[in-house]
């Protein structure tokens, strides 16, 4: 199958040839009934409905289905940095519900102010002013709107294959056909460039990045001359980890050409990569940082933009008028999440456990012919499966089989880009649990290689 068939962060789960077999073996009559009702009453869409299984519980790093089977969750939609049902987050939410459960516009409240203050403290450089909203896509929309007003320009430069949310404005800067196709005209001026992914470089660096990807962005920024913003995930979820000089060069090019740099750290913020924020790996501060997902503690929807005080220029206009903008309950959840990450040292823990996992994955790569590459930044880990290490033909069918076999053994993760086993456990995971999960992947690979 062609690469384009696997556009999309998760491949098309619903089209998996192994799904029917997994369902036959694992789904009993009670679950089947709920899945059928789900399919009857929800709008269907790729990657989502119809569903694979139904959940009854989650706690810590585990999901439990209606039939009582437990799964180590190495997927978690990237919301579970502090684990599911984190007691500190739940306690903060409960206390806030009893005190003030909503904040009408024109009023403020203490958790909202405390959260904005905390974000000013923990975000890099001079980022110091925030705006909150309920979803990542909405936060990306606010960042785009702000960039237009600040620069007086409308063009953006973003990456092919990226994902920034499912709304029309976020899909316009996103680079996946699944979200861009069949919906008519998208935002004008949304230019795209190849992502900095040496393992599959569209510019032909052949696996050894010589920064031609950065040169290409510099060229486009200079030739266009009027780009409002470069919008990107500093590290893609696959993961694709850029050359260490990539972001410093793009930062400098933005400064030269008057473009803002917007980092979408929605899935990777708050410690996952072994730094509180991904941009810290390269000492690059964006003009607008976009946060989401785990910010709500894996319980409530919560997203934010954080920017420099000089970009606070829309006092007489609307930037992001969301009903739940200063919701005290979501803000209390976010504050408790950040405090928990700091108190438990989860950022350092992600670094330490990530290094252990990468060493184990590297050792697995020596034994498994299907493994073409292993990558990791903290606890954002990827095992790329290929049929041939020279041609790098994607072993997509095999990846799909590994995923379903792993599910049978109690490990849930997603397959990205068609052939990358993407492993993103909660940062609270123990060494033993991490070792168990990797042992499951190891066993599944052995079985599938044996045919
Ligand atoms: C990089 C990135 N940006 C934006 C979003 C959109 O976030 P939300 O689903 O909260 O709108 C996602 C969600 O997966 C994401 O991964």
Burial class (CB in 10 A: 0-12, 13-18, 19+), 330: buried
pLDDT in the model for residue 257: 98
Please say whether the dihedral angle defined by the alpha carbons of residues 20, 26, 28 and 31, taken in this order, is positive or negative. negative
Query: How far is the centre of ligand 1, averaged over its atoms, from the C-alpha of 401 (Å)?
Result: 26
* For residue 4, pLDDT beyond 90: no
- Rounded mean pLDDT of 390-402? 95
- Rounded mean pLDDT of 353-379? 98
Other beta carbons less than 10 A from residue 185's beta carbon: 7
pLDDT in the model for residue 12: 45
Q: What are phi and psi of 416, to 5 degrees?
A: -100, 155
Query: How far is the centre of ligand 1, averaged over its atoms, from the C-alpha of 433 (Å)?
Result: 27
| Percentage, residues of the chain above pLDDT 70 | 97
Placement of tokens 């976010």 in the chain: 334
pLDDT in the model for residue 15: 64
Q: For residues 376 and 80, what is the distance between their CA atoms, to the nearest angstrom?
A: 18
How confident is the model over 155-170, as pLDDT tens digits? 999 999 999 999 999 9
Q: For residues 61 and 70, what is the distance between their CA atoms, to the nearest angstrom?
A: 10
CA of 135, closest atom in ligand 1: 10
pLDDT in the model for residue 444: 98
* For residue 6, pLDDT beyond 60: no
Question: Average pLDDT, whole number, for the chain?
Answer: 95
CA of 293, closest atom in ligand 1: 10
pLDDT in the model for residue 92: 98
Q: For residues 85 and 129, what is the distance between their CA atoms, to the nearest angstrom?
A: 29
Helical packing angle, 396-408 and 431-450, nearest 10°: 130
> CA neighbours within 13 Å on the CB side: how many for 48?
9
Task: Classify strands 260-264 and 288-291 as parallel, antiparallel or unpaired.
Answer: parallel
Query: How far is the centre of ligand 1, averaged over its atoms, from the C-alpha of 163 (Å)?
Result: 7
How confident is the model over 240-263, as pLDDT tens digits? 999 999 999 999 999 999 999 999
pLDDT in the model for residue 14: 56
Strands of 288-291's sheet, edge to edge?
129-133, 303-307, 288-291, 260-264, 227-232, 155-159, 190-193
Q: For residues 233 and 159, what is the distance between their CA atoms, to the nearest angstrom?
A: 9
Query: How far is the centre of ligand 1, averaged over its atoms, from the C-alpha of 142 (Å)?
Result: 14
| CA-closest residue to ligand 1 atom 6 | 165
CA of 303, closest atom in ligand 1: 10
pLDDT in the model for residue 11: 43
Give, for ligand 1, the residue of 144, 164, 300, 305 to mutate: max count of ligand atoms closer than 8 Å to Cβ. 164
Ligand 1 shell residues, CB under 6 Å: 135-137, 140, 163-165, 233, 264, 266-267, 292, 303
How confident is the model over 341-352, as pLDDT tens digits? 999 999 999 999
Query: How far is the centre of ligand 1, averaged over its atoms, from the C-alpha of 372 (Å)?
Result: 28
Would you mind telling me the total number of residues written for the chain in this entry?
451
How confident is the model over 324-340, as pLDDT tens digits? 999 999 999 999 999 99
pLDDT in the model for residue 363: 98
Q: Which H/E stretch holds residue 291?
A: strand 288-291
Other beta carbons less than 10 A from residue 183's beta carbon: 10
């Amino acid at each position: 199958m062609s690469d384009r068939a696997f556009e999309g962060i998760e491949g098309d789960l619903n089209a998996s040839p192994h799904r029917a077999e997994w369902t036959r073996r694992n789904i009993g009559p009670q679950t089947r009934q709920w899945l059928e009702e789900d399919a009857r009453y929800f709008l269907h869409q790729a990657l989502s409905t119809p569903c694979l299984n139904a959940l009854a519980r989650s706690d810590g790093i585990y999901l439990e289905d209606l039939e009582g089977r437990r799964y180590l969750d190495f997927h978690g939609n990237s919301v579970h940095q502090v684990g599911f049902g984190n007691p500190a987050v739940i306690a903060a939410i409960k206390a806030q519900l009893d005190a003030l459960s909503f904040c009408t516009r024109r009023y403020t409240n203490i958790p909202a102010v405390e959260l904005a203050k905390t974000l000013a403290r923990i975000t890099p450089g001079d980022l110091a002013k925030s705006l909150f909203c309920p979803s990542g896509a909405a936060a990306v929309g606010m960042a785009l709107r702000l960039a237009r007003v600040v620069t007086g320009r409308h063009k953006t430069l973003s990456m092919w294959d990226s994902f920034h949310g499912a709304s029309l404005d976020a899909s316009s800067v996103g680079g996946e056909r699944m979200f861009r196709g069949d919906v008519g005209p998208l935002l004008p001026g949304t230019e795209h460039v190849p992502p900095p992914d040496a393992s599959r470089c569209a510019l032909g660096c052949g696996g050894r990045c010589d920064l031609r990807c950065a040169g290409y962005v510099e060229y486009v920024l200079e030739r266009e001359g009027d780009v409002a913003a470069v919008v990107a995930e500093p590290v893609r979820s696959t993961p694709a980890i850029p050359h260490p000089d990539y972001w410093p060069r793009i930062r400098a090019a933005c400064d030269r050409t008057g473009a803002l740099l917007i980092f979408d750290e929605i899935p990777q913020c708050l410690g996952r990569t072994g730094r509180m924020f991904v941009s810290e790996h390269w000492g690059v501060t964006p003009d607008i940082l976009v946060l989401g997902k785990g910010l709500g503690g894996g319980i409530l929807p919560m997203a934010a933009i954080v920017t420099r005080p000089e970009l606070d220029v829309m006092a007489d206009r609307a930037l992001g008028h969301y009903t739940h903008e200063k919701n005290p309950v979501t803000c209390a959840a976010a504050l408790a999440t950040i405090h928990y990450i700091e108190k438990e040292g989860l950022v350092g823990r992600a670094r330490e456990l990530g290094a252990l996992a990468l060493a184990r994955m590297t050792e697995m790569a020596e034994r498994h012919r299907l493994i073409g590459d292993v990558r990791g930044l903290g606890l954002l880990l990827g095992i790329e499966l290929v049929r041939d290490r020279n041609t790098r033909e994607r072993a997509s069918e095999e990846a799909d089989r590994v995923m379903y076999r792993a599910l049978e053994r109690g490990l849930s993760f997603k397959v990205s880009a068609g052939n990358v086993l993407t492993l993103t456990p909660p940062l609270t995971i123990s060494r033993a649990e991490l070792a168990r999960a990797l042992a499951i992947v190891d066993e599944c690979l052995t079985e599938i290689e044996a045919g």
